[in-house]
Amino acid sequence: MLQLTDQTCTQVLNLPIVVNYQPILAQITNQVFNCDSNKMAVTLNLAGNAPWKLNYTKLGIVNQSGVIQIQQPTSTLFFAQGDYMLNSVVDNTSCSFSLNHFLSHNMDSLKATKTLQQFDCDSGKLHIRYQLTGNPPIILTYKEIQSGNTTQVISNNGTVDLYLSNSSFVVLQASDLYCTKVISDTITNTFRKFEVPFLDRNVLCDSGKNQLLLAFEGGQAPYQIAYSMNGGFTKLV
């Protein structure tokens, strides 16, 4: 009820007034890199009169202003890579709450890409190379299937080289400071190191030639022999 009074009279106004105003408040309760979206997740707890608007500025050579509409009192907002100033929150009554919160997102998304798979003749092993992006140090984890032994390789330069023996392996995952990415890449090395022991040499009396006995171990047939004679070069398969 509302009444008006002057020096001599009082006037009662039967005007119902409902006051349900809630004072505005905004608080950042969490700020963490989100691995699934590769964005920075910021959680806001809000009080006041919904809906709200978040006013922010993306900082750069040319600053860009933006507004995010918020419906729920607890909301998580996602920001792409860059620097931001979260300026203020405004509710439905145009009341404003200053945040003045600086947000910096310079995280790199975690990726592991196999760029090389070839047999290494010197070591007799299968050479696997992964190109990595993320926030170092990055750890690549793989397992030998038969023994179950797990190995971790740490990279600070964005590249991991694996030399796998004659067996089957599964590259399980890559992990950096913030995220883990499942790879599940099964690799089988069926190659055997190529060796040619010299077994024997005989003189063939009828032809007057030398007979060489070689044994091919490992490698992949067909084999090729190269030799030189009197300055010439010959290949035999």
Q: Are residues 13 and 100 in the same domain?
A: yes
| CATH (domain of 159) | 2.60.40.10
Q: Are residues 17 and 100 in the same domain?
A: yes
Q: Are residues 100 and 118 in the same domain?
A: no
Count of structural domains, the chain = 3
Domain membership flag for residue 202: yes
Q: How far apart are CA 128 and CA 67, in angstroms?
A: 47
Q: How far apart are CA 4 and CA 79, in angstroms?
A: 53
Q: Are residues 88 and 123 in the same domain?
A: no
Give the pLDDT confidence score for residue 200 in this predicted structure.
Answer: 61
Selected residue with higher pLDDT from 195 and 35: 35
Q: Are residues 96 and 10 in the same domain?
A: yes
Give the pLDDT confidence score for residue 201 in this predicted structure.
Answer: 64
Selected residue with higher pLDDT from 222 and 119: 119
Give residue for tokens 């140090």.
137
Give the pLDDT confidence score for residue 173 in this predicted structure.
Answer: 97
Give the pLDDT confidence score for residue 22 in this predicted structure.
Answer: 85
State the pLDDT confidence band at 119, using cuts at 50, 70 and 90: confident
Determine what percent of the chain is predicted with pLDDT higher than 70.
Answer: 78
State the pLDDT confidence band at 225, using cuts at 50, 70 and 90: confident
Give the pLDDT confidence score for residue 128 in this predicted structure.
Answer: 96
**pTM strictly above 0.85:** no
Domain membership flag for residue 84: yes
Q: Is the pLDDT of residue 36 over 80?
A: yes
**Measured CA angle at 100 (ends 97, 105), to 5 deg:** 130
Domain membership flag for residue 211: yes
Give the pLDDT confidence score for residue 11 in this predicted structure.
Answer: 72
Selected residue with higher pLDDT from 194 and 86: 86
Residue burial 104-128, b: 16+ Cβ < 10 Å; e: rest = ebebbbbebeeeeeebeeeebbbbb
Show the tokens assigned to 7: 């020096």
Q: Is 14 helix (H, G, I), strand (E, B) or coil?
A: coil
Q: Are residues 77 and 148 in the same domain?
A: no
Show the tokens assigned to 35: 């691995």
Give the pLDDT confidence score for residue 228 in this predicted structure.
Answer: 72
Q: How far apart are CA 50 and CA 52, in angstroms?
A: 5
Q: Are residues 45 and 131 in the same domain?
A: no
Q: What would the pLDDT profile of 37-61 be if each residue is shown by its tens digit? A: 999 999 999 999 999 999 999 999 9
Q: Are residues 150 and 214 in the same domain?
A: no
Single-letter residue type at 114: K
Residue range 171-195: mean pLDDT, rounded = 88
- Out of 105, 127, 148, a domain closes at 105
Domain hosting residue 119, numbered range: 111-188
Q: Are residues 12 and 99 in the same domain?
A: yes
Domain membership flag for residue 193: no
Q: What would the pLDDT profile of 190-221 be if each residue is shown by its tens digit? A: 876 666 555 566 666 666 677 666 666 566 66
Residue range 170-190: mean pLDDT, rounded = 94
Q: Are residues 7 and 92 in the same domain?
A: yes
Q: Round the average pLDDT of the chain to a whole number and report it.
A: 86
Give the pLDDT confidence score for residue 190 in this predicted structure.
Answer: 81
Q: Is the pLDDT of residue 133 over 80?
A: yes
- Out of 188, 209, 226, a domain closes at 188
Q: Are residues 130 and 220 in the same domain?
A: no
| CATH (domain of 30) | 2.60.40
Show the tokens assigned to 8: 């001599």
Q: How far apart are CA 3 and CA 141, in angstroms?
A: 78
Domain membership flag for residue 158: yes
**CB-based contacts of 57: which residues, under 8 Å, 6+ apart?**
63, 64, 65, 66, 84, 85, 87
Domain membership flag for residue 130: yes
Q: Are residues 12 and 82 in the same domain?
A: yes
